[in-house]
Amino acid sequence: MRFFTQEWAEAARSAVDAGPPQEGKLPAYWQWIDRARAGYTASWALGVRETGSYLILTWKDGKCAEAEIADGPVEADYVLAAGEATWEKLREGCLLYTA
């Protein structure tokens, strides 16, 4: 599946909506997330700096309901842009936070 296509956007929406696998969840944290998420309505825009393309995820009542690819600049509640190499590493699970 090609990165930043509509097919990929829908797969990303589905994955974000599903959240992590049950076995990886810390119960108290995810119980809080589930409660907070119930009424969550917002839009996220995740952009690729080199191309100016954005994945726009629209949340409605706690569900990631829509995904689209758009050219920037875009309007969203939260906007995050990174280089394509960074997004690829994140997608591959190769970015880890270390303090």
Residue 29: band (very low, low, confident or very high) from pLDDT cuts 50, 70, 90: confident
The sign of the dihedral angle between the CA atoms of 14, 98, 77, 31 is: positive
Whether residue 29 is contained in a domain is answered as yes
Establish if 87 belongs to a structural domain.
yes
Lowest average pLDDT, out of 35-39, 52-56, 87-91, goes to: 87-91
Q: In this predicted structure, what is the pLDDT of residue 72?
A: 86
In a domain, 97, yes or no: no
In a domain, 28, yes or no: yes
CATH number of the domain to which 37 belongs:
3.30.1050.10
Q: Is residue 99 part of a domain?
A: no
Q: Give yes or no for residue 20 having a pLDDT over 60.
A: yes
Asked whether residue 48 is domain-assigned, the answer is yes
pLDDT at 2 over 70: yes
DSSP one-letter code for 93: T
For residue 44, give its domain range.
6-91
- Per the domain annotation, does 76 fall within a domain? yes
Cα–Cα dist 20/47, whole Å: 22
Give the chain's domain count. 1
